[in-house]
Amino acid sequence: MKVVAIVGSIRKDSYNLQLAKHVQKRYASQFDLEILDLSTLPMYNQDIELDAPKEVLDFKAKVKDADAVLWVTPEYNSTIPGVLGNAIDWLSRVDKVMNGKPSIIMGSSMGILGSVKAQMHLRDILFASGLNSPLLPMNEVYVGAVHEKFDAEGNLTDESTIDFLDAVISNFQEWMKQYV
């Protein structure tokens, strides 16, 4: 199974990137996870969507080629960050590569709510509002106080989060059997 991760923070030391890297490493024997780079995507502009830059075409080709997408998002101002909205705008137009493609959502923040509002919005955008991406039901991953759960080297050290993610990924793989 091939999965791509779309991370809503382009910050070098992003906790959400560290979370994606944890999934990539810990479940490497179970599926291949490629973390996509959103930092090179230009701002979406309808004037150029039919002649989109190479970075956009490469990004969309990778999403199209994947069996599923893992979204890992911080919360900015009670919603999804602009870089994530920008990526979604590109994905939603012309070649609609998310149509029917399954998604799993995770996210973290330094506050206790762990990006819950951003994830609620993301769920709505991905499924209810038009991208038509089936979402892993039930398994909601809100990693709050994230700065206390990773060490200085970027390793997830919080045992209960590690165990919880094991259960979620197991459910994800079971759920994915209907798609691959």
Output the CA torsion 37→14→83→108 (10° steps): 120
Q: How far is CA 127 from CA 11, 81, 88, 120, 131, in A?
A: 27, 18, 12, 11, 6
Give 52 or 106: the residue with its C-beta nearer to ligand FNR.
106
Structure tokens belonging to residue 115: 């990006």
Contact with ligand FNR (CB under 6 A) among 20, 38, 66, 74? 74
Cα 81 to Cα 73: distance, rounded to the nearest angstrom? 8
Residues 10-29 that bind ligand FNR (CB under 6 A): 11, 14-16
Q: With contacts defined by CB under 6 A, name the span among 22-30, 43-51, 104-112, 152-160 that binds ligand FNR.
A: 104-112
Least CB distance from residue 62 to ligand FNR, whole Å?
21
Asked if residue 151 binds ligand FNR (CB under 6 A), the reply is no
Structure tokens belonging to residue 19: 């979370």
Least CB distance from residue 171 to ligand FNR, whole Å?
24
Contacts with ligand FNR, residue ranges (CB under 6 A): 9, 11, 14-16, 74-78, 109-111, 113
